[in-house]
Amino acid sequence: MSLRQFAAAALVSATFGFAVSPAHAVTEIQWWHAMTGGNNDIVNKLAEEFNASQSDYKVVPTFKGAYPDTMNAGIAAFRAGNAPHIMQVFEVGTATMMSAKGAIKPVYELMKDAGEPFDAKAYLPAITGYYSTSKGDMLSFPFNSSSMVMWINKDELKKAGVAEIPKTWPEVFEAAKKLKAAGHDTCGFSNAWASWANIEQFSAWHNVPIGTKANGLDGFDTVLEFNSPLHVKHLQNLVELQKDKTYDYSGRGSASEGRFGSGECAIFLTSSGYYATAKNTAKFDFTSAPMPYYPDAQGAPQNSIIGGASLWVMGGKTADEYKGVAKFFTFLSDTNRQAKLHQESGYLPITKAAYEKTKADGFYEKNPTLQTPLKELTNKEPTENSRGLRFGNMVQMRDVWSEEIEAALAGKKTAKEALDAAVARGNAMLRTFEKTAK
């Protein structure tokens, strides 16, 4: 379905009606999300707390599968005329959602129309910039923002004779070899989110472009560039280490994160938002550390970019339903609630006040793990290569990029052939997106 069709479907979508008497009417707000494990529990708890705080609205959270599944379900719901009020969309779906005019109710308009207090400057700029127009108007509401960190099983590193947590990629490779020799036969180190780890975050952290036009932030007519010598070197290193499972590939999404919690992989790169699940499942001493970098790459490390997701408000709803959504967003923005949410989930505080409160409370001194992604995001002033990314068809492109990485790891292509193909196929998808977005 083209973006024009997607938008048109939103414009004709039917509004929900609720068979309750006006005397005790409660307006339901449907919230579709992709949170699993400990974070699913947190989502349910937030809804329960909001519902208990007032009697006019009831937020109903529904798990719709992984991020791509949730987005696909939302698109299908638009076509059927029964979209949710709120849909959680991961950050790489931002360009697609922005282009679906009429399919969404921009957050800055929602809050203004509902008369709710709202100041975009109260939110952390490293997060809100990703979800705002070039004029600074917030289109979606930041919810679970994260970055990629390196999770470390301190007990297993100690057993393997690794004295210090690795900082560079060569140090990670050496530590992984020691772990393998110490009994980690199936995984010296690994990562979830194949393209996010090895293309998107890797590029920003090393201050090299993923594409032109500031990785698409400055225009849809961007051209991909992640087949540089540095990218090729990194993928080739993974190919060599994959042969004896010093490195072991763990898939395109987050389903493999349990390999860290089980103790199988003692070094594992994934989202900082994995914290709640790690805390509930890991039976060992763990921490997080910044992503590794190649020391011969000029300027590295630079800064990381955000991951996670935001909450998009769908078009075609009633004024009363929108007022309920706006009140829920005000509820979520509360300083104490944001600080608690950050401290329990591992996701970043979305407001400046929540971050300052967490620091003032001395929380990071006892829990340095949760400050790792914030240190990464603010390591240096962002450049055009590290502000973020905004590519159309990104959900589908990630699969294409991962497919080419997998071909290299399987020995079907050289690292350079795989990345050249990933760039060429991705550019073709971007040109297709341009035609639908204009």
Q: Please check the confidence at residue 22 and state whether its pLDDT lies above 90.
A: no
Q: Which pLDDT does position 24 carry in this prediction?
A: 59
Structural contact between residues 64 and 32, judged by C-beta atoms closer than 8 angstroms? yes
The distance between the two most distant Cα atoms of the chain, rounded to a whole number of Å, is 70
Residues 409-418: pLDDT tens digits? Answer: 999 999 999 9
Looking at 119-123, 177-181, 312-316, 324-328, which range is the least confident one?
Answer: 119-123
Q: Which pLDDT does position 3 carry in this prediction?
A: 43
State the sign of the Cα–Cα–Cα–Cα dihedral 428, 430, 433, 438.
negative
CA distance 230 to 135: 34
- Give the single-character DSSP code of 274: G
Average pLDDT value for the chain: 91
CA contacts within 13 A on the Cβ side of 155: 11
What long-range pairs does 416-421 form, CB within 8 A, spacing at least 24? 416/227, 416/232, 418/235, 419/226, 419/227, 419/231, 419/232, 419/235, 420/227
- Give the single-character DSSP code of 253: S
Q: Which pLDDT does position 17 carry in this prediction?
A: 39
Q: Which pLDDT does position 27 carry in this prediction?
A: 97
Residues 229-239: pLDDT tens digits? Answer: 999 999 999 99
- Residue 187: Cβ-neighbour burial (10 angstroms; 0-12, 13-18, 19+): buried
Residues 273-307: pLDDT tens digits? Answer: 899 899 999 999 999 999 999 999 999 999 999 98
What long-range pairs does 404-409 form, CB within 8 A, spacing at least 24? 405/194, 405/195, 405/198, 405/235, 406/194, 406/249, 408/235, 408/236, 408/238, 408/239, 409/238, 409/239, 409/242, 409/249
**Mean pLDDT of all residues in 31-49:** 93
Helix, strand, coil abundance in the chain, percent, nearest 5: 50, 15, 35
Q: Which pLDDT does position 19 carry in this prediction?
A: 42
**Mean pLDDT of all residues in 151-171:** 98
Instruction: Tell me if the bond preceding 301 is cis, omega within 30° of 0.
Output: yes
Residue that the structure tokens 């029964």 belong to: 82
- Give the single-character DSSP code of 129: G
Residue that the structure tokens 């962002």 belong to: 382
Instruction: Specify the amino acid at residue 378.
Output: T
Q: Please check the confidence at residue 23 and state whether its pLDDT lies above 70.
A: no
SS3 4: helix
- State what percent of residues in the chain have pLDDT above 70: 94
Q: Of 356, 357, 339, whose CA–CA distance to 348 is shortest? A: 339
Residues 243-270: pLDDT tens digits? Answer: 999 999 999 999 999 999 999 999 999 9
CA contacts within 13 A on the Cβ side of 362: 1
Structural contact between residues 180 and 159, judged by C-beta atoms closer than 8 angstroms? no
- Give the single-character DSSP code of 292: P
Q: Which pLDDT does position 50 carry in this prediction?
A: 98
Q: Which pLDDT does position 136 carry in this prediction?
A: 83
CA distance 132 to 94: 10
**Mean pLDDT of all residues in 92-97:** 86
- State what percent of residues in the chain have pLDDT above 90: 73
> How many of the other CB atoms lie within 10 Å of CB of 383?
15
**Mean pLDDT of all residues in 381-401:** 91
Tell me the two tokens of residue 50. 């909001």
**Mean pLDDT of all residues in 54-58:** 97
Confidence of residue 11 (pLDDT cuts 50, 70, 90): very low
Q: Chain centroid to CA 55: how far?
A: 33
Structural contact between residues 157 and 150, judged by C-beta atoms closer than 8 angstroms? no
Structural contact between residues 314 and 153, judged by C-beta atoms closer than 8 angstroms? no
Q: Please check the confidence at residue 48 and state whether its pLDDT lies above 60.
A: yes
Q: Which pLDDT does position 6 carry in this prediction?
A: 47
Q: Which pLDDT does position 438 carry in this prediction?
A: 59
Backbone angles phi, psi at 152, to 5 degrees: -125, 125
State the sign of the Cα–Cα–Cα–Cα dihedral 409, 410, 415, 418.
negative
